[in-house]
Amino acid sequence: MKISKRVASAVAVSSLSLSAFAADKVYLNQWGFTPEQSKVAIVKNASSMPFTVTRLNNGAQELSATTRPSGKWEDAGMTVSLADISAITAPGEYRLSVDGADPVIFTVHPNPYGALHDAVIKAYYYNRAGMALDQAFAGKWHRRAGHPDTQTLTLGAPDTDPVDRSKGWYDAGDYNKYIVNSGISTYTLLRAYLDHSDFYDSRHWNIPESMNNRADLLDEILWNLDWMVTMQDSDGGVFHKLTTLSFSGPVMPDAATATRYATAKSTAAALNFAAVMSVAARVFDERRDDYLERANRALQWAQNNPKQYYTNEDNVKTGQYGDTSLSDEHNWAAIEYAISQRNSKMLSELAGKLSAVSAPSWANVTGLSYLSLLRDAKGLLRENEYQSVKSQLGAYADQQVDIMQANAFRIPVVTKDFVWGSNAVMMNKAMLLENAYRLTDKPVYRTAVFALVDYIGGRNPTGYSFVTGFGNKSPRFIHHRPSEADGIADPVPGWLAGGPQNGHQDGCRYPSDLPATSYLDDWCSYSTNEITINWNAPLVYVLASVITGK
């Protein structure tokens, strides 16, 4: 039986508000564990409680132990204890039973993250602008093409001929294309390729280009790079976004036909563009000269126009991605350009100007500079300079480990991580921790990475696995226009929902006011249940890392 999305969503909201998560007593990763990783379930009970683990197929008891009280997590208003199930290492399906709670099922598998990874990267294909999604690749989510963007206008330049600004990914649940957010998204996917190229060179997930001789990941990235280059003006500057004047309603792409405009140019767009073009020049040999020349012109434009901060034009109501603090972007773009030009002298200077490590976001790209210096500039920096950059990442990782050990859910998360798109904060932290692990071999950093993966997979106080289509309880009503409008009950798979935060910017009714439980699986909730290209990207990176090991 197919129930309408509205009815289904109303049911979901009312059951959420009645139960306020009280029915979920045990929280754990719903995607499965690798044999060797440490495995923890969180039990919503303050005291030490007996628990058992039995094999699902024959009922054999594999473990009998008691939970360890771990205190209160104020952000969730929850006092909990921990069931350590790390001793379960043989692949199989298991039942974890804690006195007084409904049993939960978990799996141990040599590669529990393979299908998940492929879905999380394939989500970008589902968000391609200007392309029909054929059933052969998109399955039941096949759809017509929308937004050809071959005849777009330019705001403030009514006499200019229409310009082809086609291809690219829709940013999110909306259909616009924003250079700033494309910056961090495309960089992170390029980073995933640079750091795991062996894995990607032989990995396919059934996209139209899968049969050519390039890695699927690179084909996917090119779809967006091809759009990004169309956003550069003849003076080297870069238009901030390609947008309709207002957001469309929840309709399919081909039904959202309002005129598309390039807006004003901005310093932030030029710098994001320059950084991405510089990195892409290291990956796509045949395009190296073109990308570097574009990066150079965008950098020069940004130097000549350092304070062109973007704010929406009066008649433009779509996402702003406004940023008035651009020293991190200036540094990042210069670092990427210098790495690609193998300019050691410039890199030494720039490496000395880095501010402290922090989790990357669209508005704060310092963490990306660290990653590029550590992974791509080893031979270009002096040994002492390189070690200093590395030790700053180590200090950040140590700090996250301390946070993890003090947190009742044993995850490296603090109150201020619960911003719009909190799940991506967690994955960006995991990306930094993974790099700290690879550079130092300290196992506790890997434990922190897995703790964050567990968090997204269900070891969190909402009890959701936050990726559509994966886990026993995952978002059904994401704020994603095709998923809302396509008449298909299941949302497009592989999307990471924004996640809990208590800003309540959309005015929906939330089950809780607390940062870690303020999440609503409803189309209404664009502040916790939208999806975007910059949130999936670090999850792609982290999953590729845990799959490839070291």
Q: Quick check: is 490 catalytic?
A: no
Q: Quick check: is 402 catalytic?
A: no
Q: Is 471 in the site for ligand 9MR (CB under 6 A)?
A: no
**Which DSSP letter does residue 509 get?**
P
Among 532, 533, 541, 543, binds ligand 9MR (CB under 6 A): 532
Write out the two tokens for 314.
Answer: 């009066």
Q: Scanning the structure block, which residue is given the tokens 């607390």?
A: 514
Q: Is 538 in the site for ligand 9MR (CB under 6 A)?
A: no
Judged by CB under 6 A, the stretch of 49-57, 208-216, 335-343, 526-534 that binds ligand 9MR is 526-534
Close Cβ partners of 165 (under 8 Å, ≥ 6 residues apart) = 149, 152, 177, 227, 230, 231, 242, 260, 262
Complex with ligand 9MR: residue 454 or 530, whichever CB lies closer: 530
Q: Which residue has its beta carbon closest to ligand 9MR?
A: 319
169: three-class secondary structure by DSSP: strand
How far does the chain reach from its first CA to its final CA, in angstroms? 46
Q: Map residues 138-157 to x or -, x wherever contact with ligand 9MR holds by CB under 6 A.
A: --------------------
Rounded CA-CA distance 341/337 in Å is 6
Q: Quick check: is 74 catalytic?
A: no
The one catalytic residue among 479, 480, 486, 522: 479
Q: Quick check: is 385 catalytic?
A: no
Going through 157-298 in order, the beta strands assigned E by DSSP cover 177-178, 241-243, 261-262
Considering only CA atoms, which of 295, 183, 195 is closest in space to residue 533?
A: 183
Least Å distance, CB 512 to ligand 9MR, is 20
Among 174, 195, 329, 521, binds ligand 9MR (CB under 6 A): 174
Rounded CA-CA distance 298/90 in Å is 54
Least Å distance, CB 57 to ligand 9MR, is 43
Least Å distance, CB 548 to ligand 9MR, is 28
Least Å distance, CB 41 to ligand 9MR, is 31
Complex with ligand 9MR: residue 81 or 272, whichever CB lies closer: 272
Chain-centroid distance, C-alpha 137: 23
Least Å distance, CB 498 to ligand 9MR, is 7
Q: Is 75 in the site for ligand 9MR (CB under 6 A)?
A: no
Considering only CA atoms, which of 256, 240, 227, 93 is closest in space to residue 169?
A: 227
- Residue 386 identity: Y
Phi, psi of 533 (to 5 degrees): -65, -30
The one catalytic residue among 220, 336, 434, 530: 530
- Residue 526 identity: Y
Q: Is 171 in the site for ligand 9MR (CB under 6 A)?
A: yes
Interface of this chain with ligand 9MR, residues 300 to 329, rule: CB under 6 A: 319-321
Among 420, 439, 508, 524, binds ligand 9MR (CB under 6 A): 420
Furthest-apart CA pair in the chain: how many Å?
76
Considering only CA atoms, which of 192, 326, 353 is closest in space to residue 269?
A: 326
Write out the two tokens for 241.
Answer: 């976004």
533: three-class secondary structure by DSSP: helix
Q: Is 172 in the site for ligand 9MR (CB under 6 A)?
A: yes
Least Å distance, CB 312 to ligand 9MR, is 10
Burial class (CB in 10 A: 0-12, 13-18, 19+), 227: buried
Among 421, 458, 491, 515, binds ligand 9MR (CB under 6 A): 421
Binding region for ligand 9MR (CB under 6 A):
171-172, 174, 319-321, 420-421, 526, 530, 532
Q: Which residues are catalytic?
A: 174, 479, 521, 530
